[in-house]
Amino acid sequence: MSTKAGYLKYDRVDGTVLKEEERTKDFQEFHLRLPFQQRREQAERCMNCGVPFCQNGTMIAGMASGCPLHNLVPEINTLVAHGRLEEAFRRLSMTHSFPEFTCRVCPALCEAACTCGVHDAPVATKENEKEVIEYAFEHGLVPDGKPKVRTGKKVAVIGSGPSGLAAANLLNRRGHEVTVYERKDRVGGLLRYGIPNMKLDKSVIDRRVGLMEEAGIRFLTGVDVGRDVPASALMEQYDSVILACGASNPRDIQVPGRDAEGIFFAVDFLGMVTKKLLDTDFAEYPKSLVEGKDVLVIGGGDTGNDCVGTCIRLGAKSVRQLEMMPQPPVDRLPSNPWPEWPRVLKVDYGQEEAIWKYGSDPRIYQTTVKEFVKDKKGHLKEAVLISLRSEKDEKSGRLRMIPVEGSEKKVKTSLVLIAAGFLGSEQYVTESFSVSTDARTNVKTEPGKYLTTRKGVYTAGDMHRGQSLVVWAIAEGQRAAREVDEDLMGYSNL
């Protein structure tokens, strides 16, 4: 423990967040770091529990509890509290490939499982880790990972999202020759084009990729494996292949008028915005996509929230966000005890900005779209919304949302962004490699394993487990790398 009862001595204090009026003027990150002495005090709040649930990373009631990477949280917090940031970085690096990503975009599973959070605010572990990794970069402590000896084995990683990058990083460090294939024009996968810049500045990705290139990893962008390059060619060229292409098949909304002009999948929309910003070095914002429009975001998750924040920055006239499920409770219910993930109402940055801009929370619960209405030129002009009621299915016990007849209402809408999740991997990739998939089109493996039904072909990340979090993708990439290494070398020290 850092100090005697530090969790009683100090209240939780988060880093400064820029006010909505200031931060919505651009696409820059708006979470600032605390002065170092205050950061040390926040780390001192760690109780150094006998049983640290924060680093457990297991599934409870179908949801993750604690860090899937098993970061040694109490040890890291203790080192931060003592001001020993270089040692804290070494400790964090034992389990984590890319803390600079998760400290910005992770929902902090560690904090949700923090013992201190049972009766008080949890330890600010996410921001503590940000202090550690940024200190490490600022002081040249982050190694490129270039191996001293090469094994002579060659591995191809298909996809440069968090799982692909994590696998490539470890396999290269082991000494294998690694090539990463990315179908987009830049490396990063959904880190690059699925998460807005104000949430994850793209220079953070470039900084890490630069180190990986220095270490010998080769990145080939603009190459769509399965279309531009057949799987057979890669199987001949490499000893192993890892499929880390993500769950990139978006779930659609099939209702009358779906063909109206002005309806986009959220991930495509966010990608277009980010690409324009990067192509012009942030000199031009793609305001023509949104400015002056009434926007309807379908989906209440992280991607939907990112769409809300993005549209506000691009000058939307109004923004509504539909959520099919009922509004969560403000406090935990007895049926959702700690250390389960808390199923409670959260107001994320996009909703905060909408409340500031338009005067109310943009979310409309238990509602979906019944129809899109077009004008004579085929442009979207209205959406017909319908309320839903919950009903438990007698056979499965699951909650179903049933339309309420007569509850329809029309709302002016000129832009729709569908953020309803993803259905799994894309068929052309799995067919090209002749790997089996499950009912959700995730690539099939044995439980807890990463080898697919085809010898020499492995999988990791969302393509393996379905749509999930960046921290889970990194964990999957690390574990897949170990399995590949063990199969190639007969043992693994990863």
pLDDT tens digits, one per residue of 231-254? 999 999 999 999 999 998 899 999
Question: Which of the four pLDDT bands, split at 50, 70 and 90, describes residue 215?
Answer: very high
**What are the structural domain ranges in the chain?**
6-138, 154-248+423-489, 263-418
pLDDT of residue 3: 54
Rounded CA Rg of the chain: 23
Q: At 409, phi and psi to the nearest 5? A: -150, 150
How is residue 328 annotated by DSSP? P
Question: In the chain, how many H helices and how many E strands?
Answer: 18, 16
Cβ atoms 125, 108 nearer than 8 A = yes
Q: In what order do the strands lie in the sheet with 177-182?
A: 218-221, 177-182, 154-158, 240-243, 457-459
Cβ atoms 262, 415 nearer than 8 A = yes
Fold category of 154-248+423-489 in CATH? FAD/NAD(P)-binding domain (3.50.50)
Q: At 82, phi and psi to the nearest 5? A: -85, 0
Q: Is the pLDDT of residue 1 over 70?
A: no
What residue type is 68 in one-letter code? Answer: P
Cβ atoms 105, 126 nearer than 8 A = no
- Rounded CA-CA distance 351/363 in Å is 8
Q: Is the pLDDT of residue 397 over 80?
A: no
Query: If residue 131 lies in a helix (H) or strand (E), which one and from where to where?
Result: helix 125-138
The token pair at 335 is: 């049926």
Given this chain, do its domains 6-138 and 154-248+423-489 carry the same CATH topology? no
Diameter of the chain measured on Cα atoms: 72
pLDDT of residue 4: 62
Question: Which of the four pLDDT bands, split at 50, 70 and 90, describes residue 229?
Answer: very high
Q: What is the mean pLDDT of residues 283-287?
A: 97
Q: Kindly give, in sequence order, each residue whose CB lies less than 8 Å from that of residue 421, ignoring residues fewer than 6 positions away.
A: 250, 251, 299, 301, 467
How is residue 97 annotated by DSSP? S
Q: Mean pLDDT of all residues in the chain?
A: 96
Least confident range from 136-145, 170-179, 310-319, 388-397: namely 388-397
Q: Is the pLDDT of residue 63 over 70?
A: yes
pLDDT of residue 480: 98
Q: Kindly give, in sequence order, each residue whose CB lies less than 8 Å from that of residue 397, ignoring residues fewer than 6 positions away.
A: none
| Length of the chain as a residue count | 494
What residue type is 397 in one-letter code? Answer: G
pLDDT of residue 115: 95
Q: Which CATH number fits domain 263-418: 3.50.50.60, 1.10.3720.10, 3.40.30.10, 3.40.50.970?
A: 3.50.50.60
Question: Which of the four pLDDT bands, split at 50, 70 and 90, describes residue 462?
Answer: very high
Dihedral angle over CA of 145, 148, 151, 153, nearest 10: 40
Question: pLDDT digits over 463-477, tens only?
Answer: 999 999 999 999 999
Q: What is the mean pLDDT of residues 59-85?
A: 94
How is residue 327 annotated by DSSP? P
Question: pLDDT digits over 132-184, tens only?
Answer: 999 999 999 999 999 999 999 999 999 999 999 999 999 999 999 999 999 99
Which of 277, 349, 272 is closest to 312 using CA atoms? 349
Domain range 6-138, CATH class: mainly alpha
Residue with tokens 């993803």: 422
